Amino acid sequence: MRARRGIGISSVAVVAVTGALVVAPVASAAPDQGRELPKVPVAQGYGGAVVSDTVQATQAGLDVLRRGGTAADAAVAVAAVLGVTDPNMAGIGGGGYFVYYDAKTRKVSTIDGRETTPAAGDKDLFINPATGQPYAFADAVTSGLSVGTPGNLAVWERALQRWGRYDLDDALQPAIRVAERGFPVTPQLRKEIEQNQPRFKQFSSTAALYLPGGAPPAVGSTLRNPDLAKTYREIARNGTRAFYGGAVGRDVANAAQNPPLASDATIVPPKGKLAIGDLRSYKTLDQAPTHVRYRNVDVYGMAPSSSGGTTVGESLNILERFDLSKAPRDQALHFYLEATKLAYADRGRYVGDPKFVNVPTAQLLSDSYAAVRACRIDPIRATPAPVAPGNPLNPGDCTPPPPSATPTSENEVHTNHFVVADARGNVVTYTNTLEQVGGSGIVVPGRGFLLNNELTDFNFTPTQGTAADPNLPAAGKRPRSSMSPTIVLKDGNPWLALGSPGGSTIITTVLQIIINRVDFGLSLPDAVAAPRATQRNTASVTAEPAFITGNPLLARYGHTFTEQAEIGAAATLEFTDRGQILAVGEPTRRNGTSAGVVHPAR
């Protein structure tokens, strides 16, 4: 019999003490006092750990762990709270990928909760029937047409079925309390709402929640979401059927089909095709993870429909042909940038939803194919991009392939990622998203959550020249994603769990952290904090300013750079040989990450 009613969030707040999160009376940092709760990016100790974007979510996960919940129980509680406190990135209006290490079986498993195309969708989903041309990307995003069938809630249910001790109604209680009581608006949340204000004001329900009085809420003010609390209660009482076919689902479908335009709206968005039948028929997929052996560790990731596992894995296989630890740092980074350039070319040509296209996953991850791709790398000169994809089914030797197609535009912008571990040794790494910051911009009226715009992750028109494009829309199809929740085992035991938001840069962020830790010998905090660069088969490398200024010799290889202030916002765990867990988030990116452990090390 499953345990019940055991994990409600306690009346506590979080304060920083000795580098970890500890509990204190709520009066010391009450949300109503308008003070932002503190964050710490690094914690170390025993008994379980959580790293997430908000203090409230991290605390909810730690409370679950303290009450004997598993990593899966805690992950669902964290995800539900993030739907309240990180609403532009996460929530039941979106989908994601859940990777789990089971300490009993010593195996890594995954759940694919990616959104699906409505049954009424087809390859011309984003072609304007009035013009015969693709919709402008911005117009497609802020519309019902971009909304795919959400998968996050189904992921939560499936994760609890497979690995939880508690039921969904218990796991939702912390989020219900945070939504009711409210939480202090952070500078990051205010910034996101402010940036989305032109979109949010177009929809009456969105403006009512996030633009009170016509403006974004002030930093430190209390943001409550009684509609979301009511929605979570309804799901807790009636189960996920309330969403996948019930009253909540009907409201979701109606909001997509008939976006709730404000009386002074200046847009006429295309209506969506999501119907109640799409919600009734939605299913998550239990999948085997991708797996590659790199140096002395085993790297497990998410298989297609995500491109994360295949692209991280192929890049690592290519890089294993070079001794990065002994190469000069500038040359090692050159190899990293060239390897991802090649892997992204293959990603664009071959990776899509495997129910609709034949994804050669095993061949993309084979050592023999990596050897052929690696020989394309000039050790002293960057190859002009875009480079052509290879042929994993018939690799041949290292002869120049035909000219490359135009690189696919990468519209995926941001996501949410967190990691959890429990005292039993179970580990979760979970990336979930609405796609753009603020998703489609549509809050479901009376329900308190934003809908995704995941379908804009499809290519609107073919991108691969004369070759078939694996990422065009089709009824029931999952759009390709870059989400890369990853678990690394050493000697058969968990060593690292990691992932990041950041759209198509997720893959390179995860890859760079692994290289920093494995090849360059950086500590995990330093590996996460190190400046980042991302090469996605584009003419120039997108990089953070500190990467550009810190690696001037890369220009000699022919690399050019486009500056971007921040890339990613990683959440990671490392399991030490002393039995401790090192929980590491971002010290500065996205205003920092909240890391905590159940029993801090002294």
Q: Which residues are part of the catalytic machinery?
A: 415
How many whole angstroms separate alpha carbon 38 and alpha carbon 297? 35
3-state helix, strand and coil shares in percent for the chain, rounded to the nearest 5: 35, 20, 45
140, 142, 146, 150 alpha-carbon torsion, rounded to 10°? 170
3-class secondary-structure state, position 537 = coil
CA 239 – CA 268 distance, rounded (Å): 35
Alpha helices per DSSP H over 351-446: 361-364, 367-374
Structure tokens at 433: 């998203």
Beta strand extents in 121-216 (DSSP E only) = 183-184
Three-state secondary structure call for residue 158: helix
Whether 164 and 433 have beta carbons less than 8 Å apart is answered as no
Nearest to 511 by CA among 521, 522, 500, 525: 500
CA distance 559 to 236: 53
> Residue 30 burial by CB count (10 A; 0-12/13-18/19+): exposed, middle or buried?
middle
For β-strands 486-490 and 493-499, DSSP reports them as: antiparallel
| Residue 298 identity | D
* Cβ atoms within 10 Å, residue 576: 12
SS (H, E, C) 469-518: CCCCCCCCCCCCECCCCEEEEECCEEEEEEECCCHHHHHHHHHHHHHHHH
CA angle 572, 427, 452 (to 5 degrees): 70
**Residue with the two structure tokens 């058969």:** 492
Q: List, in order, residues 6 or more apart from 343 with CB less than 8 Å away.
A: 311, 314, 315, 318, 373, 507
Nearest one of 46, 42, 35, 45 to 16, comparing CA atoms: 42
Sign of CA dihedral 482, 487, 489, 492: negative
Encoded tokens for 201 = 């004001």
Count of residues making up the chain: 602
